[in-house]
Chains A and B, each alone.
Chain A
Amino acid sequence: MLSDSSRVREVYLPTLDPFENVLLVLRRWEQLIKVENAGFAYNADSPNPIRALEAVSLEINKGEFVAIVGHNGSGKSTLAKHFNALLLPTEGDVWIDGINTKDKKRVWDIRQKVGMVFQNPDNQLVATVVEDDVAFGPENLGIPSEEIQRRTEEAMALMRLTEVRDKAPHMLSGGQKQRVAIAGILAMRSDYVVMDEPTSVLDPLGRLEVMESIRVLRREGITVILITHFMHETIEADQVIVMDGGRMVMSGSPREVFAQVDKLRSLSLDVPLVTQVAAKLAGMGLDVPPNVLSVEELMEYL
């Protein structure tokens, strides 16, 4: 069976059936994140383990933009930390491009493939000037310095940081700091970017800057996984995943998910504001569908 994780380590063993061997080699080329029946408990070895994930299975394809929502304690951040082997599932498996995150020898490959942006930008900047911070990741990969220079320039240009390259990160706005963090990941040539509530401490403009950065990442073909509790940030996503009590309780396109207003409310989540306005207008008797997702769309019906 292809999905039998215990076999993958046997891929180099000559005793394996040749056909199966080919399949397993192919699987290593799969370009996607695959979560198979993953469960996780904090303090798993203690007498009082705290369950945080229950039987989560999902696939995130290359180039997709996936939003994960859920209230605090729903397991969304725990799930996010599984995508770059910060946490390993206590049951089931997580695969990044065919690499099992439990494979200790490959953990740095995984971290190079999957970059992380955290909630508080002050906790993730390391250097004294912007340019050095962006270059920090590739420098640790042992890449030749001309190549580092090229990547740093490119990443700063994409994140519109060239003008502030000589500034100290703590002198920047929150939105700029998050862009520095993202530029660092771009310079690493990561294929996936996981953002754990990247906008929740930013001002409205900072939030827009992060959302614009996500569009840039997508244009570059990079997979974006956004953990958020701001519903309007998920509107452009290909897939919205709703977590509750460690389980994946809903998933689908934003339109499919936000059509289920009552279910979302019961999970103490909201639908985007435009959708709420549209639903109100429909309730007042105007001819507006209740699952409108943008102002542009709303306008067509007015």
Chain B
Amino acid sequence: MIIQIENLHHTYMEGTPFETKVLHGVNLEVKEGELVAIVGPTRSGKSTLVQYMNALFLPKTGRVVVDGHDTSKKTVDVRKVRQTVGLVFQYPEHQLFQETVGKDVAFGPKVCGIPQEEIDGRVLAALDAVGLDPKVFKNRYIFALSGGQKRRAAIAGVLALQPKVMIFDDPTAGLDPKGREEILGTIRRVHEKQGLTVVLVSNNLEDVARMARRVVVLSEGKVVLEGSPHEVFSQVGVMRQIGLGLLQTVEIMSKLRERGFDLPLDALDVDETARRIFQYKQALKGGSSGGAI
């Protein structure tokens, strides 16, 4: 277990008239090497929760243990936790500030006091990992990059710190389909090739259905569902009730069901949806001709 969260509570602006409870006793585990997605409607507490995972918030109530470091203890070394867990914020490209891609990626390791020779190696490896060819991109000016490239450069900056866990907070927001593919491909590579544990926070259920093995659903500061994408996304009632909406393919299946088609709900992509409908039609044909005989 690389991250363990027990009974975590969080209140914003405590003691003021604007006091808002954001997390109400969250229990959550992230296993080493897995790709887990956290989904939830706006204001469900997702972004607050991930900030506990790299010690930007320290628990007042409850416990967060990251790779053996208990962040609820006063003695915790928060820098260790932040080195273990790299957090890629929403719109990370807004945080690029150096002139060139190479300098920006090198900035984090430099601040951490890594020797120059090693930094060079890390920059190359990180650019490689996000699919930006170092030969082409290392000396390129930041402003000459496309939106998707900028975002990948920002991700490389976090990777260069060599964390064990990467958290991506809404990594595809505002990108077009091509940019989205690039980022999802990057996340998949980081997970599969480098073996990093990935926590994917997203509002895009389509992305989650394609990427995650396990999905955790937050609503009003609590974990309300947890399981495989097939298990979670077919919980149409809960997903609607908490205001998250449905995966587009599940929406199609559920509309067909409402009109009397006896179809399973858990279709995660176009192929699966078409196959389920096709099989249903075939069975219907088989059934009716059988009845005629």
Contact = CB atoms under 8 A, between A and B. Distances in A.
Give the interface size bracket for A toward B. 35 or more
Contacts of A286: 277-278, 281
B131 interface: no
A190 B254 CA distance: 38
Contacts of B179: 71-72
B256 A277 contact: no
A203 B256 contact: no
Nearest to A282: B274
A120 B173 CA distance: 10
Nearest to B20: A171
A208 B43 contact: no
B277 A302 contact: yes
Given A205-B243, A280-B274, A284-B274, A71 B177 contact: yes
B41 A173 contact: yes
A202 interface: yes
A206 B274 contact: no
Contacts of A72: 146-148, 175-176, 178-179
Contacts of A171: 18, 20
B245 A277 contact: no
B252 A273 contact: yes
Contacts of B42: 173-175, 202-203, 206
Contact of A204 (B146, B205, B271, B277): B205
A206 B170 CA distance: 15
B245 A71 contact: no
Given A71-B178, A72-B147, A72-B148, A284 B278 contact: yes
Given A268-B178, A302-B281, A203 B41 contact: yes
Given A204-B205, A205-B245, A277 B177 contact: no
Contact of B249 (A200, A273, A296): A273
A203 B177 contact: no
Given A72-B147, A281-B277, A284-B278, A276 B270 contact: yes
B174 interface: yes
A129 interface: no
A168 B290 CA distance: 64
Contact of B174 (A197, A268, A276): A197
Nearest to A269: B177
A73 interface: yes
B146 A295 contact: no
Given A201-B173, A204-B246, A302 B278 contact: no
A280 B271 contact: yes
A281 B275 CA distance: 8
B7 interface: no
Contacts of A299: 255-256, 259, 261
Interface string B174-204: 1111110000000000000000000000010
Interface hub of B170, B251, B274 (most chain A Cβ within 10 A): B274
A295 B250 CA distance: 12
A202 B170 CA distance: 10
A229 to B, nearest CB: 5
A237 interface: no
A281 B249 contact: no
A51 interface: no
Contacts of A119: 174
Chain B CB count within 10 A is highest, among A174, A232, A280, A298, for A280
B235 interface: no
Interface in B132-169: 146-148
A71 B205 CA distance: 21
A133 interface: no
A274 interface: yes
Given A204-B244, A229-B177, A277 B252 contact: yes
Given A204-B203, A205-B245, A206-B42, A277 B174 contact: no
A270 interface: yes
Contact of B256 (A206, A229, A295): A295
Interface string B245-272: 1101101100110010100000000110
Nearest to A275: B270
Contact of A200 (B174, B246, B281): B174
A277 B173 CA distance: 25
Given A206-B42, A277-B270, A277-B277, 12 more contacts: A71-B178, A72-B176, A72-B178, A171-B18, A197-B174, A208-B245, A229-B176, A269-B177, A273-B249, A277-B273, A277-B274, A284-B278
Interface of B: 18, 20, 41-43, 146-148, 170, 173-179, 203, 205, 243-246, 248-249, 251-252, 255-256, 259, 261, 270-271, 273-274, 277-278, 281
5 contacts: A72-B148, A207-B245, A229-B176, A268-B177, A281-B278
